[in-house]
A and B are shown apart, each in its own frame.
Chain A
């Protein structure tokens, strides 16, 4: 099958690009090797829509961060994704860090961060009484979103506008012949006029398939997520002045859009980009770092720890932070080093990619393009009167399946009938938040398994995250036969 554009990688960037191209009368396909979108770098992202204050001036990162941020309110409105501008606070915890704070402020102004201002100790304290600070810088445009909800929404909207979504499709080879790309995957071969490589950590490998050698470095980020019970301790994102050591932002705190508190990520260069293990050392660092910013934080309220991987363009110890690398090599569009603020920049990067192909293929706006995505109704967010009406209409809303996040049977059914056809437990978790609360599935897991079976999924096909991650080995007594 011949596609105008074939996108490799279903992270937030790939899905934003797919949606961008779905505005036009084009044949577009996205291939993702996992069972769902948002399973790589984007899934283990802080969900921060950065203001742009942290990016070195003059970089694509700084520019696209500020421009991407400005696109978020309308984008999230269209896609029915929760987004809130809670603001970003950078604080100097010690006297010695005040100088660094000045640098952050100057950079923010230079980057054109809207409304950024300096705060005295009293002002920080009035804003965030639990944060330990000498002084601060505040950027009101900093916002929060759920990274997987956004990625899924982009993918679903792209799909609804005609993009073919190929999940469980690992790209195994790409050849170029007579101006056309032939892409082989574990789910078949495709021809394409333009190939976009947004494969994240695997982008280097995909580029190599067409003979492009680029170096990227895998950097693991560990997170610790805390119970909603303690999340009232801050209401904005809180960052330290970045440590002198080049690289990450230092341990910071993010209130998530769904009301948890996220600590992390760490940044640790690793040899094996597939090694997503968490470690005792980093976990300790995260908790200590968080306590430094918010001394009263109850770090014993952790409910889950996880790790993600991002590809950086610069090696460990480099003095530069490294910029996004977006290049067009005769119709092979290579996206490398799309690390933070990649989520924020994603809608702007998608426009950039569209601009790159404008001269190569004809882009004719599609009249039928519908920018709106309905999404799944969240029962917990309804008023009591609405809840009552919903249950009267459909008794499945009256059965709370997940008691931590108040998710109803109907929402789980909706999640299992998602447009992309994802049937994994992680797919349900990413779509409706069951399995994600303080009991981590202790209550809802058996109930979700029941609903999956009612929806026609055999127990042997019930997986956490696709092939090889099955929950059951068979019926009870299967080992006795």
Chain B
């Protein structure tokens, strides 16, 4: 039968969030373990060989692997036990895990759990791109893995669909590797990636960004031979007559990320349709007591640093919960208002200062961020610029929250 162990905190996932959560939990004195499915810690950081990591956490410009190395050092310094090459097969609401490892099946009973499984890429099938099914259609992250980690080149002439950050970074990577990137097509009327990536990855290399365009068909029998690009209308339907075939041997998809919550579902964790991740309170605790969530499994972050920062808090709270099973506070719901994609956390303790995280639904200048309790204005702040590519934060003090039954955050565009 499987071997069994008991721990204070188990962290599922050893990426930028999981490592930070484990370090913080361990610093609180909790006996902490990390379960990581890969053969080494780092998660997706290991394939992100570009710079731009660590600006918030270390005030340095690091590559993904360098950033990961810093966190790995901390994990090791804390003496956190790491199960590598190990996959959690099952998790229940009593915080019991079944883990497949190459040394055998292990049952882990944890006082608290931190979910840090990250996210996965949306695929061709999910976005419904029709046509044939040849080789040469890759999600951007898979292509990044092949090129950066496995030293395998995926194609010569490439069309990128989607202007998310991975798509932009891969457009540059492929160009640097000698491939021709024909264009990056984006169905939205604006770029979905960070501004700095548009400049550094597309503009600097003369790669055209086609806004308001999408790929409406894939052609080719055995390997991609071309794709059909079409303009889209304001409801994102292809405009008849705007189709044109572009010859290429590869289509790269950067069409969004989905928090990977299959295990959370097994444990009965309530999910938010807007984020795709668990509903959490200000402690990053989910609807299941003692189960916490952070990083991209909670909501897709703009930069890894923010995932780690959030995870420090989640890990610390998980350790405290493991120690004394904190009393339930009186919490009020936080609602997502006009022009907002999502707001986190979804429940807060009104007797404390709170930081809300949110994303705008579209870019805009001279905007007002408004927090209401019903019809009562709690706080308003002007933001010169909002961009869906970036996560925004908004502070509300205990004093401002006094007497509030619920709050709703919305954006007014100027």
Chain B residues within 8 Å of A468, by CB: 221-223
Q: Give bound CA distance, A396 to B104, whole Å.
A: 10
Q: Give bound CA distance, A370 to B341, whole Å.
A: 61
B217 CB-CB contact with A under 8 Å: yes
Contact in complex: A398, B100 (CB < 8 Å): yes
Q: Give bound CA distance, A450 to B134, whole Å.
A: 21
Contact in complex: A446, B128 (CB < 8 Å): no
- Which of these binds chain A: B144-152, B307-315, B363-371? B144-152
Whether A395 contacts B103 in the complex (CB less than 8 A), given A276-B133, A473-B156, comes out as: yes
A459 CB-CB contact with B under 8 Å: yes
Q: Give bound CA distance, A121 to B406, whole Å.
A: 45
B216 CB-CB contact with A under 8 Å: yes
Contact in complex: A283, B128 (CB < 8 Å): yes
Q: Which B residue sits closest to A380, measured CB to CB? A: B89
Contact in complex: B153, A474 (CB < 8 Å): yes
Q: Give bound CA distance, A250 to B53, whole Å.
A: 53
A278 CB-CB contact with B under 8 Å: yes
Contact in complex: B152, A399 (CB < 8 Å): no
Contact in complex: B152, A449 (CB < 8 Å): yes
Chain A residues within 8 Å of B217, by CB: 277
Contact in complex: A479, B123 (CB < 8 Å): no
Q: Which A residue sits closest to B107, measured CB to CB? A: A384
Contact in complex: B125, A398 (CB < 8 Å): no
Q: Give bound CA distance, A467 to B134, whole Å.
A: 12
A477 CB-CB contact with B under 8 Å: yes
Q: Which B residue sits closest to A408, measured CB to CB? A: B100
The interface residues of chain A, by DSSP majority, are classed as: mixed
Contact in complex: A385, B178 (CB < 8 Å): no
Name B264-299 residues within 8 Å CB distance of A: 265
B126 CB-CB contact with A under 8 Å: yes
A470 CB-CB contact with B under 8 Å: yes
Determine how close the nearest CB of chain B comes to the CB of A325; give it in whole angstroms.
29
Q: Which one of B98, B105, B131, B177 has the highest number of Cβ atoms from chain A below 10 Å of its Cβ?
A: B105
Chain B residues within 8 Å of A474, by CB: 152-153
Count A-B contacts at CB 8 Å. Answer: 151
Q: Give bound CA distance, A441 to B253, whole Å.
A: 13
Contact in complex: B89, A400 (CB < 8 Å): yes
Chain A residues within 8 Å of B123, by CB: 303-304, 439-440, 442
B207 CB-CB contact with A under 8 Å: no
Q: Give bound CA distance, A302 to B127, whole Å.
A: 9
Contact in complex: B105, A403 (CB < 8 Å): no
- Count residues on chain A whose CB falls below 8 Å from chain B CBs: 57
Determine how close the nearest CB of chain B comes to the CB of A477; give it in whole angstroms.
7
Q: Give bound CA distance, A267 to B87, whole Å.
A: 42
Q: Give bound CA distance, A265 to B130, whole Å.
A: 15
B37 CB-CB contact with A under 8 Å: yes
A392 CB-CB contact with B under 8 Å: yes
Mark contacts of A432-467 with chain B using CB atoms, 8 A cut-off: 1 yes-contact digit, 0 otherwise: 000000011111011001100000000100011111
Whether A303 contacts B126 in the complex (CB less than 8 A), given A384-B2, A391-B102, A446-B142, comes out as: yes
Contact in complex: B153, A442 (CB < 8 Å): no
The interface residues of chain B, by DSSP majority, are classed as: mixed
A406 CB-CB contact with B under 8 Å: yes
B63 CB-CB contact with A under 8 Å: no
Chain A residues within 8 Å of B94, by CB: none
Q: Give bound CA distance, A470 to B250, whole Å.
A: 11
Contact in complex: A446, B154 (CB < 8 Å): no
Contact in complex: A302, B128 (CB < 8 Å): yes
Chain A residues within 8 Å of B125, by CB: 225, 302-305, 440
Q: Give bound CA distance, A345 to B139, whole Å.
A: 40
Contact in complex: A278, B221 (CB < 8 Å): no
Q: Which B residue sits closest to A464, measured CB to CB? A: B135
Contact in complex: B153, A388 (CB < 8 Å): no
Determine how close the nearest CB of chain A comes to the CB of B127; give it in whole angstroms.
9
Kindly identify which residue among B1, B2, B104, B152 contacts A476, using a CB–CB cutoff of 8 Å: B152
Q: Give bound CA distance, A476 to B175, whole Å.
A: 12
Determine how close the nearest CB of chain B comes to the CB of A33; give it in whole angstroms.
13
Contact in complex: A476, B147 (CB < 8 Å): yes
Contact in complex: B133, A472 (CB < 8 Å): no
Contact in complex: A387, B100 (CB < 8 Å): yes
Kindly identify which residue among A465, A476, A480 contacts B135, using a CB–CB cutoff of 8 Å: A465
Contact in complex: A400, B37 (CB < 8 Å): yes
Determine how close the nearest CB of chain B comes to the CB of A57; give it in whole angstroms.
38
B92 CB-CB contact with A under 8 Å: no
A1 CB-CB contact with B under 8 Å: no
Name B242-267 residues within 8 Å CB distance of A: 249, 262, 265
Chain B residues within 8 Å of A304, by CB: 123-125
A478 CB-CB contact with B under 8 Å: yes
Q: Which one of A403, A441, A449, A466 has the highest number of Cβ atoms from chain B below 10 Å of its Cβ?
A: A403
Contact in complex: A471, B150 (CB < 8 Å): no
Kindly identify which residue among A302, A396, A469, A473 contacts B154, using a CB–CB cutoff of 8 Å: A473
Q: Give bound CA distance, A276 to B130, whole Å.
A: 10
Whether A472 contacts B146 in the complex (CB less than 8 A), given A302-B125, A403-B87, A449-B152, comes out as: yes
Q: Which B residue sits closest to A463, measured CB to CB? A: B135
Kindly identify which residue among A229, A441, A469 contacts B134, using a CB–CB cutoff of 8 Å: A469
Contact in complex: B223, A470 (CB < 8 Å): yes
Contact in complex: A277, B131 (CB < 8 Å): yes
Q: Which A residue sits closest to B3, measured CB to CB? A: A388
Q: Give bound CA distance, A458 to B98, whole Å.
A: 36
A280 CB-CB contact with B under 8 Å: yes
Q: Which B residue sits closest to A284, measured CB to CB? A: B128
Determine how close the nearest CB of chain B comes to the CB of A160; give it in whole angstroms.
30
A binding-site residues for B, Cβ under 8 Å: 225, 229, 274, 276-280, 283, 302-306, 384-385, 387-388, 391-392, 395-400, 403, 406, 408, 439-443, 445-446, 449-450, 459, 463-480
**Complex A-B, nearest 3 residue pairs according to Cβ-Cβ distance, in ascending order:** A479-B178, A304-B125, A468-B222
Q: Can you give 21 A-B contacts (C-beta < 8 A)?
A: A280-B130, A303-B125, A391-B101, A391-B103, A398-B105, A403-B87, A442-B123, A445-B142, A446-B142, A446-B150, A449-B146, A463-B135, A468-B221, A468-B222, A471-B135, A471-B154, A473-B249, A474-B152, A476-B151, A478-B178, A479-B177
Known: A280-B216, A445-B142, A478-B178. 19 other contacts (CB 8 A): A274-B221, A302-B125, A303-B125, A400-B89, A403-B37, A440-B124, A442-B141, A446-B150, A468-B223, A469-B223, A470-B135, A471-B152, A473-B154, A473-B155, A474-B152, A474-B153, A475-B152, A476-B152, A479-B179
